[in-house]
Structure 1
Amino acid sequence: MEVFQGKSIFKGVAIGPLLYYGKKETTVRREKIEDTEAEVARYKEAREKSVAQLRQLHDDSVKKVGEENAAIFDVHAMLMEDEDFCEAIENAIRTQNVNAEYAVAVAGENFSKMFAEMEDEYFKARSADMKDISERLIRVLTGEDEMHSFEEPSIIIADDLMPSETVQLDKEKVLAFVTRLGSSNSHTAILARTMNIPALIDIPIREDWNGKLAAVDGHTGTFYLDPDEETLHEMEEKRDRDLEARRLLQELKGKKNISLDGKEINLYANIGGLKDVAAVLSNDGGGVGLFRSEFLYIGRDSLPTEEEQFQAYKAVVETMAGKRVIIRTLDIGADKKADYLELEKEDNPALGYRAIRICLTRPDIFKTQLRAIFRASAFGKVAIMYPMITSVEELDKIHTIVAEVKKELTADKIPFKDDVEEGVMIETPAAALISDDLARKVDFFSIGTNDLTQYTLAMDRQNSRLDVFYNPHHKAILRLIRMTIENGHKGGAWVGICGELGADTTLTETFLRMGVDELSVSPSMILPVRDAIRKSHAYPEKE
């Protein structure tokens, strides 16, 4: 038996045979082509087929991991059709008389290197995406299968897994996945948690492990290769306890989110669109605490119209049947791009022109969205949440625009509810520090712990080199959260948490004792968090 210590990115225990997932090495040879136009046509046909694959993968993945996580396929489709990338390939075929596979390989490598050398973190991340889409194109051109297939349930081992690869794994046959590379805060890690697949990183995997028996302990981050009988028995017992715990969670459906000492809070879900609502309802979510409206703007060539947005919001609101639906206004910029907005390149986009800053300087976009949201309010219980707020002045400008929108809707005799709740996301240290002032102007706060953590610690949470320093439980973060809750209540606002810390059950009792009113988590975490609430105390013990 060999034992390796890695990092856990999702708890759970798995026992089974190992399946090495290695990318198929496709040797791309340079070939001389006489009929270049026919070769360009062959490339275009492969591109169309690849884009169709990506669109289908998006639709299939929504069912597994929700709209937000499936959006990676929309990004890949956009890159696949990028004008500069396409021109580079077609130009190489025509001027160098080379085959499409070779032109794609060269263009993919050049664009990947170009992105990798950029300072902008968003574009750096696109480096791996360019490799991914180039490999897809080459597979289509050469007629190779897209993914490894496997018959029996297995523990997947790999050097690394792209998000696009992770969501394609057959969840019914994947016991766990273990990689050598990766970050505990990466997109792939978030996908693993969403899919409830035990996962480890930082394990020095080898291809010759393929077929061997192994055990994964996601609770401790331990990997056992060829476990002995004693270890195997211990892991089997631990796995059975986990499975029983999951079964017991199902019995919590219909139960209240109430602490041992009687405090009841709201437990909502984060969604990216209508397709996520089924998961909210099946997991007994009490409402939608974060509707990420930016996914209506991504993966398209132009702004969504008022009518398109209205229909999307209305469908979610009607399906939630009177339960609160909190719609976050456009939060685009930083790592979320829409080329048609023609946003200028920034040295530090996470600190740049994004979210409410775009809305306040382009009020035509903002008013269109607000009109759609207020129209949807006539069909259920809607609340509006504004992201990336840093000042009272921003809030005053928002309220002026909201008043204009209401006046226009009234003049147009379009029905809407005048008492729609309005709130702000507390995701910057500035907002937390002036939360006493903000609370007097809103109905609620929702604390976005992901951005609040990285802005407070001055660390990019996607940077794997910072994992050893990145601490979302840092005392400074918890102090800002406590301050926000206390200031919110003093000012008459209720306070929720919608970031990943809301689903961290090791902090559930801490948040209850701070006085939080609502937690919004991914649909799959609703029942585990409900269980944690029902096992926690919210008030100091009486002497």
Structure 2
Amino acid sequence: MLKGIPAAPGIVVGKAFVFGKEDLDVAPIDITEDQVPLEISRFEDALIQTRQEIIALQKKIAADMGSEHGEVFDAHLLVLEDRMLIEEVISRVKKEKLNIDYIFSQVLKRYAHVFSKIEDEYLKERISDINDVGRRILRNLLGRMRKGLAELEDEVVVVAHDLSPSDTASMHKNRVKGFITDIGGKTSHTAIMAKSLEIPAVVGLEIATEQIKNGDIVIVDGASGTVIVSPDADTLKKYQVQEEKLKGQTETLAAIRNLPAQTTDGRHVTLAANIEFPDEIPSVLEHGADGVGLYRTEYFYMNRKDLPVEDEQFEAYKNLATTFGDKPVIVRTLDLGGDKFISQFNLPKEMSPFMGWRAIRFCLGRPDIFKTQLRAILRASVFGNLKIMFPMISGVEELRRAKEMVEEAKKELKGRGIAYNAGIEIGAMIEVPSAALTSDVLAREVGFFSIGTNDLIQYALAVDRTNEKIAYLYEPTHPAVLRLVKNVVEAGHRANIWVGMCGEMSSEPSLAILLLGLGLDEFSMPSASLLEIKNVIRAISYETAKKIAEEALGLATGQEVNTFLTSRLKDLLPQMYGN
């Protein structure tokens, strides 16, 4: 059994296809002065050929999967136009009098080494762009062809050290049942593409290519990040049953896609989606979301050396607003810090980054960056139903300062004669215990709350959610967490504002019963979970959910709550959650 990072949910059982690393090692060969121009000409031809290949692939992917997927290859084309890289190769050939393919391979290794040392995880993961383009150029220099994943003839689980964007984008969905990689994280192109294609995937396994051979039977559990190699008969049967069960459940859930998220006694709740990248929008629409409950905007600032300008952000928000029309789209303002760092901001290294200069604290400290984003959101607000949400509010002073910034941004736009929605709704994320405990005060200042349970749990329980050694202490069902949630919902309702949740808690079926019973108005989650939660809500009455929530709040431990809610869920939907 191997444990990695969950990249895309689902269970699949299949034969492994080890998509091995290419042997592109090149030996140095001495050349004469007369041969230098010929070597440089070969290099230039390889660059032209590689550019043609990437443009052709970009067009194919855009046509097959949508233009947003084709945009992945813009970064590859930029690598091809990197004058520093090209000039370094040509200069070294002239100086060292060695074959161009060897020189290029050495320069490529140096670039890869430099990027691997960068601490910024988003920039570090862009090494795949450099390697992908570099391997294409080397193949063209060496006159070699490579069989791609698009040419697979059998259904397989792809196993690779890494999958480049072009590898992932070109694979045939009907043939690739799932994939696993040695490296990569949740923000890698591979993980993003896997979610979009809804192919179960696990990344960051480190030793998968060492432990798995071609033809091995493997089980991929994309939800838990587990891979089982050569399972015994009992384990295989167990997962095959689960795989078939999931297929049947998917068909069952598809039937309720266009039905409202409404209890048997008529209470309606909003089911929205969390998104970070434009690539995810088609999946949100496909799963019948009522809108976007959390639009993370950090991606604008990732994988780049400059800051995004107002017009660039405006176009992205405008696209989102027009796509969803009257459906609400909640744009969370920039939430950097914690486990999300951007090199160009030179954020200080902190002993406790999750409790440091991050999120709204960073934005208030950099009004130039903050107001640029606010103006872009306000400009786009006339094209749809956009809302603004501030992250990591810890008290009313921060909230009031943030709202003042919004008013300043409005005045600046008015002075420029630019239209905006003067009545745009503003909300606060409740993810700090101090905010949860003073939510009655905060509720007077905003139009809605959205509970960010990922951080709220770790702050309330003093558990770093990224530390595997204490992961067992991270309990969404801990009585303290449930009481904080209850307090926020009740405070919001007393102030006549609606209360949602955008943390992972909202996508758990057993917890959906409890949250419904506590009176939560909106559930926001990854789009793949929407129909499952809708199914739970449509199967229960609000009155029953309230009684279950009341009983759960009387239990002493998180484990007792979890056991109780799991039992109620099985009673409610035995065909889906029964043994």
What does residue range 387-536 of structure 1 map to in structure 2 within 5 Å? 387-429=391-433, 431-452=435-456, 457=462, 459=464, 461=466, 471=474, 473=476, 475=478, 480-536=484-540
What does residue range 135-146 of structure 1 map to in structure 2 within 5 Å? 136-143=133-140, 144-145=145-146
TM-fit CA distance, 1:286: 0.7
Assess if the C-alpha contact under 8 Å between 2:254 and 2:531 holds in 1: yes
Assess if the C-alpha contact under 8 Å between 2:289 and 2:527 holds in 1: yes
What does residue range 173-212 of structure 1 map to in structure 2 within 5 Å? 173-178=175-180, 192=194, 195-199=197-201, 209-212=213-216
Q: Secondary structure in 2 aligned to 1:28?
A: coil
C-alpha separation between the residues in 2 aligned to 1:417 and 1:435? 26
Assess if the C-alpha contact under 8 Å between 2:431 and 2:453 holds in 1: yes
What does residue range 224-303 of structure 1 map to in structure 2 within 5 Å? 225=230, 237-260=241-264, 262-272=266-276, 276-298=280-302, 302-303=306-307
> Hey, what does 1:130 align to over in structure 2?
127
Q: Which moved more, 1:248-257 or 1:528-537?
A: 528-537
TM-fit CA distance, 1:418: 2.5
C-alpha separation between the residues in 2 aligned to 1:398 and 1:8? 35
> Hey, what does 2:26 align to over in structure 1?
28
TM-fit CA distance, 1:152: 1.8
Cα–Cα, structure 1 residues 193 and 375, in superposed 2: closer, same or farther, change >3 Å? closer
Cα–Cα, structure 1 residues 369 and 180, in superposed 2: closer, same or farther, change >3 Å? closer
Assess if the C-alpha contact under 8 Å between 1:79 and 1:130 holds in 2: no
The answer on 1:540 being equivalent to 2:543 is: no
Q: Name which of 3, 9, 12 aligns with 1:14.
A: 12
Cα–Cα, structure 1 residues 226 and 297, in superposed 2: closer, same or farther, change >3 Å? closer
Assess if the C-alpha contact under 8 Å between 2:112 and 2:131 holds in 1: no
- Residue deviations 1:196-225 (CA, integer Å, cap 9, x gap): 333467686667731355555668957363
- Which letter does structure 2 place at the counterpart of 1:252? I
- Which letter does structure 2 place at the counterpart of 1:473? P
TM-fit CA distance, 1:317: 1.9
Assess if the C-alpha contact under 8 Å between 1:13 and 1:198 holds in 2: yes
Cα–Cα, structure 1 residues 358 and 374, in superposed 2: closer, same or farther, change >3 Å? same
Cα–Cα, structure 1 residues 183 and 379, in superposed 2: closer, same or farther, change >3 Å? closer
Give the gaps of 5 or more residues in structure 2: 552-579
C-alpha separation between the residues in 2 aligned to 1:184 and 1:13? 18
TM-fit CA distance, 1:99: 4.8
C-alpha separation between the residues in 1 aligned to 2:483 and 2:67? 32
TM-score (norm 2): 0.73
- Which letter does structure 2 place at the counterpart of 1:360? L
The answer on 1:318 being equivalent to 2:348 is: no
Assess if the C-alpha contact under 8 Å between 1:7 and 1:184 holds in 2: no
Q: Which moved more, 1:73-82 or 1:495-504?
A: 73-82
> Hey, what does 2:564 align to over in structure 1?
none
TM-fit CA distance, 1:518: 1.1
TM-fit CA distance, 1:247: 0.8
Cα–Cα, structure 1 residues 408 and 96, in superposed 2: closer, same or farther, change >3 Å? same
> Hey, what does 2:377 align to over in structure 1?
373
C-alpha separation between the residues in 1 aligned to 2:115 and 2:409? 41
- Which letter does structure 2 place at the counterpart of 1:142? R
TM-fit CA distance, 1:382: 2.0
- Please give the root-mean-square deviation of Cα atoms over the aligned residues, in Å: 4.6
Cα–Cα, structure 1 residues 27 and 452, in superposed 2: closer, same or farther, change >3 Å? farther
Give the gaps of 5 or more residues in structure 1: none
- Which letter does structure 1 place at the counterpart of 2:476? H
How many aligned residue pairs are there?
A: 531
Q: Name which of 381, 386, 400 aligns with 1:382.
A: 386
Assess if the C-alpha contact under 8 Å between 1:116 and 1:127 holds in 2: yes
C-alpha separation between the residues in 1 aligned to 2:222 and 2:514? 24
Cα–Cα, structure 1 residues 209 and 311, in superposed 2: closer, same or farther, change >3 Å? closer
C-alpha separation between the residues in 1 aligned to 2:376 and 2:173? 37
C-alpha separation between the residues in 2 aligned to 1:52 and 1:350? 43
- Residue deviations 1:397-439 (CA, integer Å, cap 9, x gap): 2222222233344455544332211012234455445444333
What does residue range 97-112 of structure 1 map to in structure 2 within 5 Å? 97-99=97-99, 101-110=101-110
> Hey, what does 1:223 align to over in structure 2?
228
TM-score (norm 1): 0.77
Assess if the C-alpha contact under 8 Å between 2:440 and 2:495 holds in 1: yes
The structure with the largest helix share of the pair is 2
Q: Secondary structure in 2 aligned to 1:423?
A: strand
- Residue deviations 1:467-493 (CA, integer Å, cap 9, x gap): 855746373655554444344444544
C-alpha separation between the residues in 2 aligned to 1:324 and 1:64? 26
C-alpha separation between the residues in 2 aligned to 1:255 and 1:350? 39
TM-fit CA distance, 1:251: 0.8
Q: Give the fraction of aligned pairs with identical amino acids, expressed as a percent.
A: 34
Assess if the C-alpha contact under 8 Å between 1:61 and 1:168 holds in 2: no
Assess if the C-alpha contact under 8 Å between 1:386 and 1:425 holds in 2: yes
Q: Secondary structure in 1 aligned to 2:274?
A: strand
Structure with the larger RCO, 1 or 2 (CA within 8 Å, 6+ apart) = 1
Cα–Cα, structure 1 residues 189 and 128, in superposed 2: closer, same or farther, change >3 Å? closer
